[in-house]
A and B are shown apart, each in its own frame.
Chain A
């Protein structure tokens, strides 16, 4: 199968499921609001709304809406890649996928691509009302910027997700329990709810190994009106792209190792 055929098959699979279950699509769009309400309601009841504004210089609602949208965007890509072998194992389809002649690397690159369209849809469906309310027409430009940067973050996360699938499942098998530890850990390191530049040094260093963390940092700098020079913006974007590219061959090797392991030891179903 060519890349185009694979992509077409994956897109039909993803979109058919989404449009068949419209209620699921609705919940997907509503989720950034739910997460924002969750944090803002608890935060303002245990602390104060004003304290947040004084500390970060912005309103918590657009801040956490952006963070929640980012989380959904990143998860849209990473979850699809990371959960795929587990779902296939549970459904009994993993042995069939392993015996096909399709390149597994190509297959795993294809998996998140149809979801990227959802990242755009989710952004334009959930962000504009709040951003227009808070920032007027300027808010529309901010939404465009956030959606584009989220898209870039998600794309740059693909190679790392593949590396993680290969490494994690080669070592420990397809365990959803381990995955449930890795997912929140990565979300913390990415600096989604707690900006990277506020992190302690050790956390900051680990965070810097994840390509999307640079784009997320840029997004927060822009949202919090922190003066950032054009050179610094380009440096962060360049670093994100470079690190993501470094992960590509490593990911390919790790995925190959997982595949060989499965072929030699068999699949538990």
Chain B
């Protein structure tokens, strides 16, 4: 099978399994809308009487999108390897001689399609519950850099999580915990300037805070805690280094399971 044919087959398989079969897209969107409504409704209790509804909605919208991106990296990209172990597919991929990462050619586009659904649904729900989010791009270049570095950082994180998952058998609740705590602790949901000092320093020590800050700044939602150009430079360099580290770690863990076998295959 040519490389192109493999890529097409993998994409088709994921597309059908995730979005088409059992009305996956429709039921998934319904479920997502309800989860969003559950967590967005109490946010309204924080709204002051003289609230700027659009700004309130914009913050909630960007916060939700960044949070869902982390969830996507954790479950669709990181945990996926464990899922393949459950299904008995990973062994076949390994013995086929193909690189495991070829699966991501199928997974990533489907995840991005799903993320765009999330964007639309979140926008509609926020408009209904709070008010229409006001999205104005102040700096398009910075927004692009922010989105690209966010994807790079999330891929690196997914490679580390996936590598650890197949090597030591990390369980589902741990992944769930990480996917919640990470955006909270690293400034994914809140502008760094609103975080308490120790948490802000911690967030700046991680590569996750920079893309979120750049995106919020480019959309005019908040200022940055350091000079924008410096923050952009540090963010890009950190994302590249983090990706190299994540990729190397993943390859090492893969070698390890080929030598020692898989630690745990069952249980959520």
Contact = CB atoms under 8 A, between A and B. Distances in A.
Contacts of A187: 38
Interface stretch (B93-101, B157-165, B169-177): B169-177
Most chain B CB inside 10 Å of its own CB: which residue of A39, A175, A192: A39
B46 A177 contact: no
Contacts of B184: 34, 37-38, 41
A238 B88 CA distance: 51
Contact of A177 (B23, B42, B55, B171): B23
B189 interface: yes
A40 B59 CA distance: 14
B92 to A, nearest CB: 19
Contacts of B171: 21, 23-24
Most chain B CB inside 10 Å of its own CB: which residue of A21, A49, A50: A21
Interface string B213-250: 00000000000000000000000000000000000000
A263 interface: no
Contacts of A91: 266
Contacts of B39: 38-39, 193
A1 interface: no
B24 interface: yes
A28 B37 CA distance: 23
Contacts of A148: none
Interface stretch (B5-13, B26-34, B143-151): B26-34
Nearest to A64: B42
Contact of B28 (A39, A46, A48, A177): A177
A39 B59 CA distance: 13
A42 B190 contact: yes
B121 to A, nearest CB: 13
B181 A46 contact: no
Interface in A20-48: 21, 23-24, 27-28, 30-31, 34-35, 37-39, 41-48
Interface in A188-214: 188, 192-194
A47 B46 contact: yes
B233 to A, nearest CB: 26
Interface in A54-76: 55-56, 60, 64, 67
Q: Is the interface of A mostly helix, strand, loop or mixed?
A: helix
A107 interface: no
Nearest to A56: B45
B266 to A, nearest CB: 8
B221 to A, nearest CB: 10
B41 interface: yes
B194 A45 contact: yes
A23 B175 CA distance: 11
A51 interface: yes
A93 B40 CA distance: 38
Contact of B31 (A17, A35, A50, A180): A180
Interface in B11-68: 22-24, 27-28, 30-31, 34-35, 37-39, 41-49, 51, 55-56, 59-60, 63
Interface string A236-247: 000000000000
Contacts of A44: 46, 194
Contacts of A175: 22
A52 interface: yes
B28 A185 contact: no
B180 interface: yes
B191 interface: yes
Contacts of A185: 34
A51 B48 contact: yes
B18 to A, nearest CB: 11
Contact of B60 (A38, A46, A67): A46
Contacts of B268: 87
Contacts of B55: 46
Most chain A CB inside 10 Å of its own CB: which residue of B34, B56, B266, B268: B34
B31 A184 contact: yes
Nearest to A35: B180
6 contacts: A21-B173, A38-B189, A41-B189, A45-B189, A47-B44, A188-B34
Interface of B: 22-24, 27-28, 30-31, 34-35, 37-39, 41-49, 51, 55-56, 59-60, 63, 171, 173-174, 176-177, 180-181, 184, 189-191, 194, 266-268
Given A34-B177, A181-B27, 17 more contacts: A27-B176, A37-B184, A41-B184, A44-B46, A45-B190, A46-B59, A47-B44, A47-B48, A49-B46, A51-B45, A87-B268, A91-B266, A177-B23, A178-B27, A184-B34, A184-B38, A188-B34
